[in-house]
Amino acid sequence: MGMGRPREFDAEMALDQAMEVFWRHGYEGATIAQLTEAMGINPPSLYACFGNKEGLLKAALDRYTKLRGVWMDEVVAAPTAREVAERMLMGIADKQTDPANPPGCLLVQGGIACGTGSENVPFELAARRAQNEDQLRDRFVRAKAEGDLKESADPAALARYVSAVAVGMGVMASSGADREALRQVADVAVQAVEAQSAAEERRVAGLRG
């Protein structure tokens, strides 16, 4: 057995449980007792497997990023920039208000109230959020090259905007906002992205003509 670790220990399942504890309580609020109880292991096993609490968070974030990455691949596969934004933001509105999950987003919730000794945690979370922004930027660059976005559109700024809205929606969800409230925010943001599309530019030009 060694260090009290059970034979049936399932690393992915244990990380899913740890992920939920961090998601609900934040890094600072999650205690070793809560984490080990949720994971079905004892403290020595936690330290043997992950080094410390921050090491466990990083492992849980790797797991979360992998799962979110599958979803983000589906998001950026949408045929237009407008549909990319709609698929992402409406998906967030649904996912972050799903009773089956903790409210909000782990990449936001995990860093709440981090104090002395956990200064690296907000930077770790920011780095994970930046990965999503980079993926959006690359997709919007392609949209502009394909003529989907108008010539004056800034793909990097557009990706930063959509990412900022996504983070804000996570904060709203964690504060108790319902699905309809998040969908209203998403709808306004999608309209903002649509305003940068070449098709919308042509439509407006046609009305003026």
Q: What is the pLDDT of residues 58-91, one digit of tens each?
A: 898 888 888 888 999 999 999 999 999 999 999 9
Query: E strands within the chain?
Result: none
The residues, any chain, with a CB within 8 Å of residue 17's CB and separated by 6 or more, are 38, 39, 40
Q: Are 162 and 85 in contact (CB under 8 A)?
A: yes
Domains of the chain: 62-208 (1.10.357.10)
Residue 40 DSSP code: T
* DSSP at 30: -
pLDDT in tens, the chain (209 residues): 344 444 455 788 889 999 889 888 888 889 999 999 999 999 999 999 999 998 998 898 888 888 888 999 999 999 999 999 999 999 999 998 998 888 878 877 665 545 445 567 778 888 888 889 999 999 999 999 999 999 999 999 999 999 999 999 988 998 889 999 999 999 999 999 999 998 766 666 666 65
CA angle 106, 44, 59 (to 5 degrees): 25
Angle CA 179–68–63, to nearest 5: 125
